[in-house]
Amino acid sequence: MRVLLARQDNIGDVLLAGPAVRAVAERADEVVFLCGPRGRAAADLLPGVDRVIEWRAPWIDPDRVPVEQAAITRLTKDLAGFDRALILTSFHQSPLPLALLLRLAGTPWIGGISEDYPGSLLDLRHRPDRDIPELLRMLALAEDAGFPSPADTRLRLRGPLPGTGHLTGGPGYIAVHPGTSVPARAWPQENCAEAVRLLAAAGHRVVVTGHADEKELTALVAGQDGLDLGGRTTLPELASVLEGARAVVVGNTGPAHLAAAVGTPVVSLFAPTVPAARWAPFGVPMVLLGDQRAACKDSRARECPVNGHPCLSSVTADEVAAAVEVVAEPPPRTGEAER
């Protein structure tokens, strides 16, 4: 049985699809994962995926994506030959555009989560409980489609991860990831820089991570007290860096779920623009910080709609440093092998 699974948005979303992928892989002969370019690096890290198809969906990607007949034709050709397809979506996304393309490609059975009437586009219209973790929401669709949940439903990555001791100096540090893909979810950079100073003053080694586009931010946050790794890691290397950390300080963004996937505790600076019940890091020790009753609650805003960004600016560096002490794993023993 050849099965296609689709999750077409960002790194964190794709990582959260991992347990559903593993459930399908237990019974399928081949699992192919359809993703967008924003999630491709994460798709390559999912255990159970045999092949990845990358395509930017106009109904998912936040940038303006032209709808071109030639691109649609190429995609439907790539989608031919599957016995089943599961379309994994967030609560605000529809599986129906992709289901239509899969029907054009000849897919005989398609499952998805849809509030809208699907007509003949879906063979399985799954209706999940509200406000359950996104990981469990996707896993429930797979179960309803006849793929029982794996015994271990935590996030997992395909290994081995690359060694990064030459970048970090070995495990036992606190990782701080100040950047977010959505500005409304970012903790103010001056608060983040102060947290790095406090953690260093308390005797912690601090590593600051970030994308190549965030090097100015990571340099500011690291200052003189943290090790700036902004722009110096691929996604597998970032996963390795986070695995070597005793705790990770991060907003609601992909690396939060990457930290969970390598089993590292998280201090989550979570703006309530989407529900924490659905999107907080899953399966690891965690402290959730941020005013979850702020005026931006459930707004899905990309830019903060409230002057002063109070949901996160109200979180102090002292609170974050204290939360790190609560969740951080014990320091590594002397002589412990470096990753």
Tell me the three-class secondary structure of 42-80, residue by residue. Answer: HHCCCCCCCEEEECCCCCCCCCCCCCCHHHHHHHHHHCC
Residue 292 has pLDDT above 70, yes or no: yes
Question: Of 291, 293, 287, 292, whose CA–CA distance to 320 is shortest?
Answer: 287
Nearest residue to 289 (alpha-carbon basis) of 195, 221, 203, 206: 195
pLDDT (average), residues 12-34: 98
Cβ atoms of residues 43 and 72 within 8 Å: no
pLDDT of residue 129: 76
What's the rounded mean pLDDT across residues 39-57?
A: 97
What is the distance between the alpha carbons of residues 120 and 154, in angstroms, rounded to a whole number?
A: 34
Percent of the chain with pLDDT over 70: 98
Both 130 and 259 in a single domain? no
pLDDT tier at 313, thresholds 50, 70, 90: very high
How many domains is the chain built from? 2
* Residue 50 pLDDT class (50, 70, 90 cuts): very high
Residue 155 lies in a domain: no
CA distance 83 to 168: 46
Q: Measured between alpha carbons, how far apart are the two ends of the chain, in Å?
A: 38
215: in domain: yes
With respect to residue 336, please indicate whether it lies within any of the assigned structural domains: no
3-state helix vs strand vs coil in the chain, percent to 5? 35, 15, 50
Q: Which domain holds residue 311?
A: 165-327
- Based on the fold, state whether residues 103 and 239 are members of the same structural domain: no
* 97 shares a domain with 62: yes
Instruction: Tell me the two tokens of residue 228.
Output: 């700036």
Q: Is the pLDDT of residue 333 over 80?
A: no
Residue 219's pLDDT band (boundaries 50, 70, 90)? very high
Q: Which amino acid is at 142?
A: A
The answer on 97 and 47 residing in a single domain is yes
Q: Does residue 156 fall inside a structural domain?
A: no
Q: Is 254 in the same domain as 114?
A: no
Average the pLDDT over 56-73 and give the result.
Answer: 93
Say if 84 falls within a structural domain.
yes
Least confident of 41-45, 60-64, 109-113, 189-193: 60-64
pLDDT at 115: 87
Q: Which tens digits make up the pLDDT trace of 260-276? A: 999 999 999 999 999 99
Confidence grade of residue 130 (pLDDT, cut at 50, 70, 90): confident
Q: Do residues 251 and 212 both lie within one domain?
A: yes
If asked whether residues 169 and 138 sit together in one domain, one would say: no
Q: What is the CATH number of the domain that holds 102?
A: 3.40.50.2000
Is 181 inside a domain boundary? Answer: yes
Q: What is the mean pLDDT of residues 17-32?
A: 98
